[in-house]
Amino acid sequence: IAAAAKCSLFSPLRRLKTLSLNRIAHLSSLDSTLFEGLEYGLEELDVIDCKNVTSVVSGAFAALTKLKSLCIIEARIDTLHTSSFTGLTSLSTLRVESSEVQKIEVAAFAHLKRLKHLGLSSNRLSLLNRAILGGLVSLEQLNCDHNESLVVEDDPFEYLKNLRTFSRTATLDLE
């Protein structure tokens, strides 16, 4: 989606509740201009198989305060930054899966107070600790399957009082 087109592409769709962006080859980053006009009602956003997406720009979702579910699947996002998910005060489900994420900055999820389901499977995560998961007071499910080098340290679950399910499996090498 060209930069000029991104500004007004969804503006006429102010009542849109669900948006799926699938296999958009020219989409290289997620930024706020892409979602202009959707702040009034968008509740579910899926970005799937957009392999050229390499970043979530700071404040990309800041205006989407009604968004309840965000899925970013099969992208190429190296790092989830502290400000990647700013403004998502209603978010209950976040899935960033199969997207080559290697690093999550400290407090990247801290302001997601209503988040219940966090899916981080099939990435390249190497570390999960209290500083990363801090603030997720409502979290019930955490899926970290298929992050082969994942190290869990610093008792990240101590303050996750509502956590009911933690999944951490790896692919078996049977050679």
Task: Report the 10 Å Cβ neighbour count for 149.
Answer: 10
Calculate the average pLDDT of the chain: 90
How many residues in total does the chain contain? 175
pLDDT at 172: 47
Mean pLDDT of 74-98: 96
For tokens 């499977």, what's the residue? 121
**% of the chain with per-residue pLDDT over 90:** 76
The neighbouring-strand residues paired with 20 are 46
Residue 140 has what pLDDT? 98
pLDDT tens-digit map of 112-169: 999 999 999 999 999 999 999 988 999 999 999 999 999 988 888 988 999 999 999 8
pLDDT of residue 3: 45
Looking at residue 15, what is its pLDDT? Answer: 86
**Residue-wise pLDDT tens digits, 46-59:** 999 999 999 999 99
pLDDT for 8 equals: 54
Write down the pLDDT at residue 6.
47
Q: Please give the pLDDT value at position 65.
A: 94
Residue-level pLDDT at 171: 56
For residue 30, the SS3 value is strand
Distance from C-alpha of 59 to C-alpha of 166, rounded to nearest angstrom: 28
- How confident is the model over 90-107, as pLDDT tens digits? 999 999 999 999 999 999
Nearest C-alpha neighbor of 146 from the set 107, 164, 119: 119
Label residue 153 exposed, middle or buried (CB < 10 Å: 0-12, 13-18, 19+).
exposed
